[in-house]
Structure 1
């Protein structure tokens, strides 16, 4: 039997990250909601880096990311931050979807990565 490792979230009833069968499943948002899209995107991606590291992997092993943003007019700002952050040698499959998020959230990133080893 393959273990399921759940890294708890501060929010009740949620795991921040789950590791199972060589895959990491995680969701990253910004911690500070008074920020503009550029700063929320940077903070969310920094949190994604931390969550991947906590699961024993990194962005070079990212397989796919679904980016939800509240205002598609802000997609160019998010894309600029993404292009600064992404591992260009190992770019993941990525989708960007306009969505209604929790109050204050401008961006939410749902990611799947492979574990190392």
Structure 2
């Protein structure tokens, strides 16, 4: 580990936040709302991203790139409705959204974000 690399939170398996060379890398974020629909889970996950960015000393205004995985692309419109509200106050980052098999059956969405450090 060099002086320019800093890690925050997480577990023995992964760091929640890695900061290196002016970039903030977040671990993939999922919702633990087992009964939550895509709207509820999306709001929960985007709030987690906001919280982690805050812990890293930056905000969603500095997002560079976001990757979104959905368990089912039928949830694309519902997720996009929440996304559009969430990014409305900022210039949106680059983004990709794909369908993927999730690690747990109740996960409907997973989000990974990279931001510029403030």
TM-score scaled by length of structure 2 = 0.91
Contact 2:60/2:90 (<8 A) preserved:
no
User: Which residue number in structure 1 is paired with residue 8 of structure 2?
Assistant: 7
Does residue 74 of the first structure (1) align with residue 84 of the second (2)?
no
User: Which residue number in structure 1 is paired with residue 85 of structure 2?
Assistant: 84
CA-to-aligned-CA distance 1:7-52 (integer Å, 9 cap, x gap):
121x431111111110000122213222111100000000000000
Return 5+ residue gaps in structure 2 as ranges.
none
Relative to structure 2, which stretch is displaced further, 28-37 or 104-113?
28-37
Question: Could you tell me how far apart the structure 2 residues matched to 1:34 and 1:12 are?
Answer: 28
Question: Could you tell me how far apart the structure 2 residues matched to 1:12 and 1:33 are?
Answer: 24
User: Which residue number in structure 2 is paired with residue 115 of structure 1?
Assistant: 117
User: Which residue number in structure 2 is paired with residue 30 of structure 1?
Assistant: 31
Contact 1:37/1:106 (<8 A) preserved:
yes
Question: Could you tell me how far apart the structure 2 residues matched to 1:21 and 1:65 are?
Answer: 18
TM-score scaled by length of structure 1 = 0.91
Question: Could you tell me how far apart the structure 1 residues matched to 2:71 and 2:96 are?
Answer: 14
Number of equivalenced pairs: 115
Q: CA RMSD in A?
A: 1.3
User: Which residue number in structure 1 is paired with residue 58 of structure 2?
Assistant: 57
Return 5+ residue gaps in structure 1 as ranges.
none
User: Which residue number in structure 2 is paired with residue 106 of structure 1?
Assistant: 108
1:97 counterpart SS class? strand
Contact 1:2/1:20 (<8 A) preserved:
no
Shift of 1:2: 4.2
